[in-house]
Amino acid sequence: MSQTHTHSYYAASANQELQCPTLQGHHSADICIVGAGITGLSAALNLAERGYKVTVLEANLVGWGASGRSGGQMIFGYGCDMSVIEKSAGKVAARSMWDMSVEAIDVLRERVEQHHIRCDLQQGHLHAAIKPRQMNELEEWQHGLEKDYGYDSLTLWDQQDVQLKMQSERYLGGLFDANSGHIHPLNYTLGLAQAALDAGVTIYTDSAVTKVTRKSQANVCQTAQGQIKAQQVLFCGNAYMGKLVPEISNKIMPVGTYIGATEPLGEARAKALINNNMAIADVNFVLDYFRLSADYRMLFGGRVSYSTLAPPNLMHSMRQRMLGVFPQLADVKMAYSWGGNVAITMNRGPHFGRVGQDLYFAQGFSGHGIAATGLAGKLLAEAVAGQAERFDLFKEISHLPFPGGSLLKTPALMLAMTWYRLRDML
């Protein structure tokens, strides 16, 4: 297992370093959580606040996976359109799940304030359109969210509106949400971990769970050097769970996604590029997403790899994508480039549920994890405490396994994604 973070801007600008031991020997807890990302840590913190004895087992370091590598974009909703959830669960349940996605943003802000987490939280997010078809889709989306879900914080911008805020000619307009925003994801995750430790949670790193023995009296999570016996186990490893829980492993697929960070641009130049410090994501299926860092770098994400293998010459590739949006940065070098895996589901909807009675999971955030993972942790804690109505609502979302089994699902998905790449060009 790795005891260093990926070589990212986030790791280089982390504002604390947590020293957690490796599990050794036999121990017990009320709850054992697998994975020290935002989902697992949020669940741990919520459970500790309810008086439970909680242990978290992490294969690598706190925030080593997607929670510490992502684009940091804090956005309402889920990875799928609400119409997907409506089709599975009905409009009433879909409305409840929508409201929870908005609550997720509030939960994040509340944790930042309550625990004084220094994670560069900023408000404002733009879904940007490149083609007239996409502008029409954004207008329909805004109307539907206002009419069916009562979400009225969205403003439709035309090209002139966008250019007043962002120095790029690439976009025809966009849908701005003042309620969404962006954070430094690793510092947020580290802050959650510190809050959990302060609340009495035990966190072990370099402690990969190799086997879970399911027993009626207690479940046992085994690592190389020890074990935890617990009544309930929460699986929060998402894209890095592997086949630890075979019943759910075929419902998600790890997908690689990538980010580059420039040298510092200086305050004046950075603010000229994005003068309201919003985060931006275009609405292509294979999208670009970008924002400024607190020290005035451009953080630019994009590309995906369905084989999870990083593209060759990643730093050059990310720089070229950035220049497609900001050609005026041609004199600027990339200082960092990195990638990591997110877990997608077939329909891009979140996959929450149980395996048996005392094993819970939350996975498949499909690139929408910054806010939704914190919500998942809160719902997991509610369910363990016997208030499972909100958590169980997500079981209404139908999830199909990826076709082709473990050997063929990657090429099958790559073939399917070719259609979406072509559609982005139309």
Look at the block and give the residue holding tokens 């498949």.
Answer: 364
* Cα 421 to Cα 426: distance, rounded to the nearest angstrom: 9
Instruction: Please tell me whether residue 363 adopts helix, strand or coil conformation.
Output: strand
Tell me: the pLDDT tens digits for 374-395?
999 999 999 999 999 999 999 9
Q: How many residues does the chain have?
A: 426
Tokens of 103: 């609550």
Element holding 282 (H helix, E strand): strand 279-282
Q: Is 60 exceeded by the pLDDT of residue 416?
A: no
Tell me: the pLDDT tens digits for 305-361?
877 677 788 999 999 999 999 999 999 999 999 999 999 999 999 999 999 889 999
- Please provide residue 47's backbone torsions phi and psi, each rounded to the nearest 5 degrees: -70, -40
Cβ atoms within 10 A of the Cβ of 320, count?
12
- Please provide residue 27's backbone torsions phi and psi, each rounded to the nearest 5 degrees: -140, 170
User: What pLDDT is recorded for position 421?
Assistant: 46
Q: Is 60 exceeded by the pLDDT of residue 417?
A: no
* Cα 110 to Cα 104: distance, rounded to the nearest angstrom: 10
Tell me: the pLDDT tens digits for 94-141?
999 999 999 999 999 999 999 999 999 999 999 999 999 999 999 999
Contact 340, 65 (CB under 8 A): yes
Tokens of 246: 């075979």
Spacing of C-alpha 406 from chain mean position: 24
User: What pLDDT is recorded for position 309?
Assistant: 75
For 372, counting Cβ atoms within 10 Å of its Cβ (0-12 exposed, 13-18 middle, 19+ buried), the class is: buried
Helix and strand counts by DSSP (H, E) for the chain: 13, 17
Average pLDDT for the chain: 93
Tell me: the pLDDT tens digits for 193-235?
999 999 999 999 999 999 999 887 889 999 999 999 999 999 9
Domains, the chain, in order of start with CATH, read: 1-119+184-250+349-403 (3.50.50.60), 122-182+253-344 (3.30.9.10)
